[in-house]
């Protein structure tokens, strides 16, 4: 949402590609050990456990990406090769969704899939994460911000807000709870809990209307 020229898409893709590369490397190493006749239990006893890595185990085999921005559609497509829907905040708050979903594994080819014929895109929506980059704070009307956030909370488990400062103020009862990534637990909306890198504020919220997994 408000995907710009694809900065977040590229960053997520690089994270995913790096994680998949490390996963494949670990798999090949484990296969080589088996071929060489090594005992896995002895490898584990030497703190060289190649069968389990909590971080790598969380890297998905693929990512499905849907992008929307009413102003930068062409620039996004040019940079990422993936499609972008020219949807505004108001259209999204009224239930609109991008009609094309792309696979991260096809980011160089820009292949996308369409919903099945006759399907209602809103019924298909089960989004893990929405990222809004440097745009949510531009919504001046509290009622419009509430409408957008509540609609998103019925379709996505997590919301990541990237902003140049502490705004916008997301209030209790708007469909989200603030999340402390350090303790991995819910915190108060007034708590500082955010990550700041090079003056970019990153805040994480969990939906109260969808069960997180």
158 located within any domain:
yes
Tell whether 16 is covered by a domain. Answer: yes
The range of the structural domain enclosing residue 18 comes to 7-22+60-115+124-207
Q: Put the strands of the sheet holding 101-103 in their side by side order.
A: 64-65, 101-103, 112-113
> Which tens digits make up the pLDDT trace of 107-139?
755 455 555 444 445 545 689 999 999 999 999
With 60 as the cut, is the pLDDT of residue 87 above it? yes
Instruction: Using pLDDT thresholds of 50, 70 and 90, give the confidence band for residue 154.
Output: very high
Query: Is the Cβ–Cβ distance between 92 and 121 less than 8 Å?
Result: no
* Nearest one of 74, 94, 93, 95 to 85, comparing CA atoms: 74
For residue 179, what is the domain's CATH number? 3.40.50
Residue 49 lies in a domain: no
The more confidently predicted of residues 177 and 125 is: 177
- Count the domains in the chain: 1
pLDDT of residue 212: 54
The 10s digit of each residue's pLDDT in 186-213 is 999 998 888 998 889 999 999 999 865 5
Lowest average pLDDT, out of 72-86, 98-112, 166-180, goes to 98-112
Confidence of residue 20 (pLDDT cuts 50, 70, 90): confident
Longest dimension (CA), the chain: 66
Give a yes or no: residue 86 inside a domain: yes
Q: Do residues 204 and 181 lie in contact, with contact meaning Cβ atoms separated by under 8 Å?
A: yes
Distances (CA, A) of 162 to 5, 158, 159, 186: 15, 13, 10, 19
Which residue in the block uniquely carries the two structure tokens 């003056």?
Answer: 199
Q: Is residue 130 situated within a structural domain?
A: yes
Residue-level pLDDT at 106: 72
Which runs of consecutive H residues, i.e. helices, occur in 81-156? 89-93, 121-124, 142-153
Mean of pLDDT values over 83-103: 93
User: Quick check: is 76 in a domain?
Assistant: yes
Determine the Cα–Cα distance for residues 180 and 133; give it in Å rounded to an integer.
Answer: 19
| Residue 51 resides in a domain | no
- Mean pLDDT on 20-32: 54
Domain for residue 53, yes or no? no
- Structure token pair of residue 25: 């490397």
Question: Looking at residue 48, what is its pLDDT?
Answer: 44
Distance, C-alpha 192 to centroid of its chain? 22
């Amino acid at each position: 949402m408000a995907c710009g020229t694809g900065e977040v898409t590229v960053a997520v893709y690089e994270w995913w590609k790096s994680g998949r590369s490390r996963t494949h490397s670990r798999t090949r190493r484990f296969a080589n050990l088996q071929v060489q006749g090594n005992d896995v239990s002895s490898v584990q006893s030497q703190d060289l456990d190649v069968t389990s890595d909590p971080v790598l185990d969380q890297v998905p085999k693929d990512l499905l990406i849907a992008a929307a921005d009413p102003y930068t559609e062409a620039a996004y497509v040019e940079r990422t090769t993936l499609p972008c829907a020219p949807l505004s905040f108001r259209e999204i708050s009224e239930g609109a969704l991008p009609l094309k979903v792309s696979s991260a594994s096809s980011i160089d080819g820009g292949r996308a899939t369409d919903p099945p014929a006759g399907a209602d895109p809103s019924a298909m929506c089960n989004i893990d994460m929405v990222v809004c980059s440097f745009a949510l704070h531009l919504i001046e009307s509290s009622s419009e911000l509430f409408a957008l956030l509540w609609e998103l909370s019925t379709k996505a488990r997590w919301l990541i807000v990237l902003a140049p400062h502490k705004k916008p103020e997301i209030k209790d009862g708007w469909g989200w709870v603030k999340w402390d990534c350090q303790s991995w637990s819910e915190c108060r909306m007034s708590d500082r809990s955010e990550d700041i890198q090079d003056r970019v504020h990153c805040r994480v919220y969990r939906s109260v209307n969808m069960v997180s997994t």
